[in-house]
Amino acid sequence: MPNIPSISDLRGTPQNTPRPPAPPKDLPADSGAAADGVPKDTDFLTPAEQYRKNLEKYKIPLEEAATIYDGVLTKGYYEEYVRLKGNHRAVFRTRQYDDHLRMQTQLEMQKPQLAISQDEIISRFNLASSLHEWNGQVLTHETDDDFDAVMTLIKKLPAPIFSVLVRELAKFDEKIFAVFAEGAEENF
């Protein structure tokens, strides 16, 4: 057999030792590795463990997350009271996919040119879709006319109250997104 030259010989010399790792470059704060290049404990978590850690971050007990998850699965929604000053209160309910489609259609029709305009439409439609009680008055959402009535109510709110409700709805949504994040199925 003729001596065929190899394309490359990648073997090192016997005295060759592995190089020490290069110092890490500036890593972003949440890059997944510590500044010393050593992986963090969270890099090796299962999705179920990461989910529980995420719930801790948002200060949501696992039992409360299970109640929310089960409520959406069994009733089709989860709702929560939000108290404002005095006797003022609101009830927020998780939105349906139909609500998302309604908002998306509105954005497509209006084609807002400014980000602030788009954010306002999203906030208004999300609030109208989630608000199921305001100051003791139950707000139905069975028909498009019901939705339009809630939207009219929202448009007539004082601007500071609208802002407070949108801020409280953002907290509610953050909780719901945390409960339904990746890893939820493994925990419930």
Q: CA geometry: angle at 156 spanning 155 and 159, to 5°?
A: 80
The rounded radius of gyration (Å) of the Cα atoms in the chain is 26
What's the start-to-end Cα distance of the chain, in Å? 65
Q: How confident is the model at residue 87, as a pLDDT?
A: 82
Q: How confident is the model at residue 165, as a pLDDT?
A: 96
Q: Is the pTM of this model over 0.85?
A: no
Q: How confident is the model at residue 45, as a pLDDT?
A: 83
β-pairing, 137-138 with 89-93? unpaired
Task: Measure Cα distances from 2 to 5, 8, 9, 31 in Å.
Answer: 9, 17, 18, 52
| Chain mean position to CA 119 | 16
Q: How confident is the model at residue 44, as a pLDDT?
A: 80
User: And the tokens for 170?
Assistant: 């953002």
Q: How far apart are CA 110 and CA 126, in angstroms?
A: 16
Whether the Cβ atoms of residue 169 and residue 128 lie closer than 8 Å to each other:
no
Q: CA geometry: angle at 125 spanning 120 and 129, to 5°?
A: 150
Percent of the chain with pLDDT over 70: 77
* Structure-derived torsion over alpha carbons of residues 65, 68, 69, 74, reported in degrees to the nearest 10: 150
What's the pLDDT tens digit per position in 162-179? 999 999 999 999 999 999
Could you read off the pLDDT tens digit of each residue along the chain, which spans 188 residues?
Answer: 566 666 666 666 667 666 666 665 655 554 455 555 555 655 688 888 899 999 999 999 999 999 999 999 999 999 999 998 888 899 999 999 999 999 999 999 999 999 999 999 999 999 999 999 998 899 999 999 999 999 999 999 999 999 999 999 999 999 999 999 988 887 76
Domain ranges of the chain: 46-187
Question: Residue 182 corresponds to which amino acid?
Answer: E
- According to DSSP, residue 154 is labeled H
Q: How confident is the model at residue 182, as a pLDDT?
A: 87
